[in-house]
Amino acid sequence: MARMMREKLLYEVRPTHIHHYYHPLPFGSGGGNMYHRKCCFICSIALLPILFVLYGHVYHEAQNSENETHTVAISGWSYNTSRDLRRYVLPDNVTAIIPQLDLCSSPDLFLLVVVCSAVANFKARAAIRETWASAPSITNSSSSFKVAFLLGDPENSTLQELVDDENLHYSDIIQEGFVDSYNNLTLKSVMMLKWVSTNCRSVQYIMKTDDDMFVNINNLVRLLKVRILGNLLVGALICGARPIADSQNKWYAPHYMYQGTVYPNYLSGTGYVMSRDVVLRLYQAALKTPLFHLEDVYLTGLCAHAARIRPRHHPSFTYSKRKLDPCLYKDKTVVTSHRVNGSEMRKVWSLMNNPQLDCTGFTITSAAAQKSGAKNGKQHFINLKRSSKCF
């Protein structure tokens, strides 16, 4: 009923209240009435354009509201839901359930890898701990790294008890107080920026990745050692991607969430790296940028654009699944591979670290670098266009 009343008011144009003052003319009452009628007629003509403009404005607002009402809403982020990040991130408050305050206590921490993980993905986190997260630090102490897992609130006491036990055992869980869901991935990433900004004052680089990713830490550290500079935001660059209007698609973007026809260039959320100064700038930009539910578009596209940070492409990063070849995963040109499950991760890690592994005849080709069936990994970017301007 309230909604119907609101819609009625939107369509209704209320008349302006005009007080008419009668001034009798010296020629008699008849002349005064004639004068009054002429004034009313002239005033009505003069007011018509104004009323037309006012009606048009209200009508179009009402039409837009009606159109948005009939648009399929994003779960948790309907048309009328506030997308002011400050309301959810609470930048001036402590929001962590498990703050993990000592994670960045080392003054020589070179790289922190934050793995965004669903609360229930205990096996995925275990596989990462047993494989690439246990890689030895290369060269010297200045190359030290740590891996942490970022979770939200499961709103389930049994799952929370399991997470508490997991953290007691490994001390690598960061848990923030937001509902852990797919459409809250943007909140999760902004919470990462908040946590790093507050708790990691000396770390040089931060990587954001997911729990189905294989990361070659040694290759990543080597890559970052080549350029010890700020203003770095690097990963697999996406150019010319367009919002998807199909509400059945996982990456559906309704018009009320994004009005543009093309997304700004952005990095695949499967894995990207930032220097600490970029973390701070993206965080400040996010607090002023309306939330968009696709995390990678929002953070490395919209917020990066607002902060005047240019996301850069590097071929060592990919959003596709590479062929499960230990020589490929060990090659110096590879940093990430996507959609690697726990058993595959353990298998390729074991083969990579086998002292009898012989890669002397191995060369990277496009066929070897990407799994032939990787087209499924490109469905996310169905309207993807790559051009020289991307790189």
pLDDT tens digits along 106-155: 888 999 999 999 999 999 999 999 999 998 755 444 468 999 999 999 98
Kindly list the domain boundaries of the chain, sorted by start residue: 86-313, 326-390
Q: Average the pLDDT over 275-302 and give the result.
A: 97
For residue 230, name the pLDDT band (cuts at 50, 70, 90): confident
Query: For position 214, what pLDDT does the model report?
Result: 98
The C-alpha angle 61, 64, 69, rounded to 5 degrees, equals 125
- pLDDT digits 0-9 by tens, 40-60: 555 555 555 554 544 444 444
83-112 per-position pLDDT tens digit: 999 999 999 999 999 999 999 998 889 999
The whole model's pTM is what? Answer: 0.78
- Pairing state between β 233-238 and 173-179: unpaired
At 49 the pLDDT is: 56
pLDDT of residue 40: 54
Q: Which class does domain 86-313 fall in?
A: alpha beta
What pLDDT was estimated at residue 91? Answer: 96
Angle between helices 122-130 and 157-170 (to 10 degrees): 10
User: CB within 8 A of 234, min separation 6: which ones?
Assistant: 267, 272, 273, 311, 312, 313, 314, 317
Q: Tens digit of pLDDT for each residue in 252-264?
A: 999 999 999 999 9
> Percent of the chain, pLDDT > 90?
68
Question: Is 60 exceeded by the pLDDT of residue 315?
Answer: yes
Q: Where are the alpha helices (DSSP H) in the chain?
A: 2-11, 29-69, 86-89, 122-130, 157-170, 185-199, 217-226, 276-286, 295-297, 304-306, 326-330, 342-352, 366-369
| Interval 52-78 mean pLDDT | 59
Supply the mean pLDDT for the chain.
Answer: 81
